[in-house]
Every structure is written in structure tokens, then in C-alpha cells.
């Protein structure tokens, strides 16, 4: 056997480029998949159960098939999920928690003054509170900025949010506690303090579809209480 034939032929450079490309795509897919269930869903829960349009959700969810139109990004939980304990502070400096809203459907919204989409959706949240806020429902919009409540209070005034009470998170832990992955993040919480739906990103909370979602949650919880 000649020396040439006995040596292992080097792979062409194109092969290495192709392999690197495949590895990069695989790595990106791994990161993406790891982020999908981290929105406080159950470990191992199939993402298909939360597809927009309600496909795959169980009949036990009062919001089944209502995540469409303006609410298409809404992730409906097949079953209510327990939330960890957490606190925040109201405009008077008093510590608050979800227990203070027991018996109500709560729209828990996490926002920041530096978040442009938060500014865009704040008037709709204010309108939703004006429309449905009361004995059965409350919008609890919690600011996660550091440095005191003054900046958050100014933000609410600038956006014309006159119906939303000032709530802030001085601990800086709430975002991680509820396993939020984007800003804004909004949770719909039932009367027992459990998460029944979640939406990452801005939404038109004053839309017909949003009102239908909240009214369905209120009606279902009222009839079952």
C-alpha cells in the first residue's frame, strides 16, 4: 500500500462549516425549548396543551378556547397552578400579597418604567380596571423598578392610568419568583390565588377578547364558589 493510500484523507473545509452550522442550530433549538416551559408551567407538561385557540386544554379550564384574537398569546393552564408566596408594597408603603385579594379574580401585571411595551399597554389595563374592577376582579399592576416608588407613580400619571393603584416590588425578587421570562408578564389568578393563565408581552387588555376572558373567569369562579 502506498504512503498516500495509507494516510487518512483530511475532510474538506466545507464539511467542517456544515457541521458547525448544524451544531449552532441544535444549540439554538435547545435554548428555545428550555425557555418555553419556564413560564411557570408544570415540568414535563406538553407545550401543545397551551396552544392558542384552546386546542389541547381540558374542559376544566374556564378560559378554554378564549385565547384568540387579541388574546392569542395567552397560555391557558389545563388546571390551576399553585403560586409561590410573595409580597409587594402599595402606594402607602404597606406590604400586600395575593391574600389581600382573596375571593377576586386578579390580573397580576409585572411592568417597568423602562419597558416600552409596558407603556403602550398601561392605558388598556387602566380601562380594564375601570370596566370590571370591583368585588369580583382587580388589576394588580406591580412595578419592578429599583429606587423607590416615585418613578412608578410618575409613569402611571404620564400614561393616564387613573384607575390603577400604585404597587411596587422593593425586593426586586417578584420577577424571578413567578418565573417571568419577559416584560411585561401578566398572570390571571383565580379566587383561590392560583394561576389559570399567563401572557408574556404586551396585550390589548381592553379588547373584546380580553373582556371575554376575564368575564369567563369571573363567571366560572362565581358559579363554583
C-alpha cell at 138: 382587580
Q: Which are the contacts of 76, defined by CB distance < 8 A and separation ≥ 6?
A: 50, 54, 57, 61, 63, 64, 66, 67, 196, 197
DSSP conformational letter for 157: H
Q: How much is the pLDDT for 64?
A: 87
Read off φ and ψ for residue 89, nearest 5 degrees. -125, 140
Cβ–Cβ contacts within 10 Å for residue 2, how many?
6
pTM of the model: 0.75
Q: Give the whole-angstrom CA distance, residue 144 versus residue 132.
A: 25
Q: What CATH number matches the domain at 45-224, 3.40.50.880, 2.70.240.10, 2.40.70.10, 3.40.30.10?
A: 3.40.30.10
- What string of pLDDT tens digits covers the 225 residues of the chain? 444 444 444 445 444 444 444 344 333 332 222 233 334 333 333 333 344 433 444 447 889 899 999 999 999 999 999 999 999 999 999 999 999 999 999 999 999 999 999 999 999 999 999 999 999 999 999 999 998 899 999 999 999 999 999 999 999 999 999 999 999 999 999 999 999 999 999 999 999 999 999 999 999 866 555
Answer yes or no: are the C-beta atoms of 138 and 129 closer than 8 Å. yes
Q: Give the whole-angstrom CA distance, residue 137 versus residue 106.
A: 6
Task: Give Cα separations from 52 to 38, 65, 68, 71, 76 (angstroms).
Answer: 17, 8, 6, 8, 8
Q: How much is the pLDDT for 31?
A: 28
Q: Give the whole-angstrom CA distance, residue 163 versus residue 167.
A: 12
- Characterize 184-206 residue by residue with b for buried, 16 or more Cβ atoms within 10 angstroms of its Cβ, and e for exposed: bbbbbbbbebbbbbbbbebbbbb
Q: Where are the beta strands (DSSP E) in 36-104?
A: 75-81, 88-90, 95-96
E strand or H helix that includes residue 206: none
Answer yes or no: are the C-beta atoms of 221 and 105 closer than 8 Å. yes
Please state the domain extents for the chain. 45-224
Chain CA centroid to CA 109, Å: 8
Q: How much is the pLDDT for 224?
A: 52
Amino acid at each position: 500500500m502506498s504512503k498516500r493510500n495509507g494516510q487518512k484523507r483530511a475532510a474538506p473545509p466545507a464539511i467542517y462549516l456544515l457541521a458547525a452550522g448544524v451544531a449552532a442550530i441544535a444549540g439554538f433549538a435547545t435554548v428555545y425549548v428550555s425557555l418555553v416551559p419556564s413560564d411557570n408551567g408544570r415540568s414535563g407538561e406538553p407545550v401543545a396543551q397551551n396552544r392558542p385557540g384552546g386546542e389541547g386544554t381540558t374542559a376544566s379550564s374556564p378560559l378554554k378556547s378564549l385565547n384568540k384574537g387579541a388574546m392569542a398569546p395567552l397560555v391557558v393552564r389545563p388546571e390551576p397552578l399553585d403560586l409561590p408566596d410573595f409580597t409587594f408594597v402599595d402606594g402607602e408603603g404597606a406590604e400586600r400579597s395575593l391574600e389581600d385579594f382573596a375571593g377576586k379574580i386578579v390580573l397580576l401585571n409585572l411592568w417597568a418604567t423602562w419597558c416600552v411595551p409596558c407603556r403602550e399597554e398601561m392605558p388598556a389595563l387602566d380601562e380594564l380596571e375601570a370596566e370590571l374592577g370591583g368585588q369580583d376582579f382587580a388589576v394588580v399592576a406591580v412595578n419592578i423598578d429599583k429606587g423607590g416608588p416615585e418613578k412608578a407613580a410618575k409613569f402611571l400619571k404620564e400614561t393616564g392610568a387613573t384607575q390603577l393603584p400604585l404597587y411596587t416590588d422593593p425586593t426586586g425578587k417578584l420577577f424571578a419568583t413567578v418565573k417571568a421570562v419577559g416584560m411585561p408578564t401578566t398572570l390571571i389568578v383565580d379566587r383561590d390565588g392560583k394561576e389559570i393563565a399567563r401572557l408574556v408581552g404586551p396585550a390589548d387588555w381592553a379588547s373584546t377578547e380580553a373582556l371575554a376572558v376575564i368575564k369567563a373567569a369571573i363567571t366560572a369562579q362565581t358559579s363554583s364558589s
